[in-house]
């Protein structure tokens, strides 16, 4: 419990993850480009830093949770980056969703300064970040993983080392394919049922216990019926992830025809002004095609 932890990136996911670390009794130093986000964590008991470098100076373990590869590179390796302040032997845990190639490159440069790095992206969205039950896919050295596993267990329930550096990032890409294609398939089915005029709530109760049932169905369908697209997992962030999937797949020679179509759906939603919506909002793409809205009251329309 005497480990000093730094946390960089206090957004939708980072804020509740940080709060859980504070609640668990860890000494936390935080940084974000949004001063209001920092202030909220300071009120909860964290210390504020003026730069990633200062986070590094005051931390044994530095967690990054930022939007993309460029941001990770900047906060870790930039002019005021973690690498400028952290002492040799410190551990950087990047919990962002970036490409495996970028993750390995950043880990290699950090190692040149005596710093260890794990890639540990997460799945579960804001609800599981809040209750500390995220799935965490980790890539890196086993001894380093074992040394920080107690910290990761505060934020996640299923914390698994899946391989060396870059393996966690690769597992997250596969996760994003499965989650988002599941949402897209569910959306097609819901729009079909809505256009046919059946009661979506009754259909849900009929199918949720069969093979069509899924965590995605249970998490997203109630929100769709409420027309609640407040982001737990934003469309623009998932667009970035799926773009990373396609880039990685093309580099290693893996055709992904369904995922390629999904990427275009995300682009269409972004153009339509829905980039800030939850990825459950994929249904809106199909609703526009079919000129129907999934509301749960189709029989009475």
| Positions marked active-site | 172
Q: How far is it, in rounded angstroms, from Cα 74 to Cα 77?
A: 5
- What tokens were used for 147? 């040394």
3-state secondary structure the chain: CCCEEEEECCCCCHHHHHHHHHHCCCEEEEECCCHHHHHHHHHCCCEECCCHHHHHHCCCEEEECCCCHHHHHHHHHCCCCHHHCCCCCCEEEECCCCCHHHHHHHHHHHHCCCCEEEECCEECHHHHHHHCCEEEEEECCHHHHHHHHHHHHHHEEEEEEEECCCHHHHHHHHHHHHHHHHHHHHHHHHHHHHHHCCCHHHHHHHHCCCCCCCHHHHHHHHHHHCCCCCCCCEHHHHHHHHHHHHHHHHHHCCCCHHHHHHHHHHHHHHHCCCCCCEHHHHHHHHHHHHCCCCCCCHHHC
Neighbours of 242 (CB within 10 A): 25
Measured between alpha carbons, how far apart are the two ends of the chain, in Å?
58
Neighbours of 144 (CB within 10 A): 17
């Amino acid at each position: 419990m005497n480990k000093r932890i730094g946390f960089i990136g206090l957004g939708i996911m980072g804020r509740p993850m940080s709060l859980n670390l504070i609640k668990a009794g860890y000494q936390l130093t935080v940084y974000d480009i949004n001063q209001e986000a920092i202030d909220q964590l300071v009120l909860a008991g964290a210390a504020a830093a003026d730069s990633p470098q200062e986070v590094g100076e005051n931390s044994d373990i530095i967690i990054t949770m930022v939007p993309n590869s460029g941001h990770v590179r900047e906060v870790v390796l930039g002019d005021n980056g973690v690498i400028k302040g952290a002492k040799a032997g410190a551990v950087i845990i990047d919990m962002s969703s970036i490409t495996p190639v970028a993750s390995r490159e950043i880990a290699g440069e950090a190692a040149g300064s005596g710093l260890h790095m794990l890639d540990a992206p997460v799945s579960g969205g804001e609800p599981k970040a809040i209750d500390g039950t995220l799935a965490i896919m980790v890539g890196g050295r086993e001894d380093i993983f074992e040394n920080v596993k107690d910290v990761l267990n505060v934020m996640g329930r299923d914390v698994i080392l899946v391989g060396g550096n870059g393996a966690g990032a690769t597992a997250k890409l596969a996760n994003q394919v499965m989650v988002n294609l599941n949402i897209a398939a569910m959306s097609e089915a819901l729009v079909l049922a809505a256009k046919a005029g059946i009661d979506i709530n009754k259909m849900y109760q009929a199918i949720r216990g069969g093979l069509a049932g899924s965590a995605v169905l249970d998490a997203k369908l109630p929100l769709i019926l409420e027309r609640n697209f407040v982001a737990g997992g934003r469309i623009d962030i998932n667009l970035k992830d799926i773009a990373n999937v396609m880039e990685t797949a093309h580099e290693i020679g893996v055709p992904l025809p369904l995922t390629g179509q999904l990427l275009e759906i995300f682009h269409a939603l972004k153009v339509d002004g829905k980039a800030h919506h939850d990825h459950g909002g994929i249904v809106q793409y199909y609703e526009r095609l079919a000129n129907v809205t999934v509301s749960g009251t189709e029989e009475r329309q």
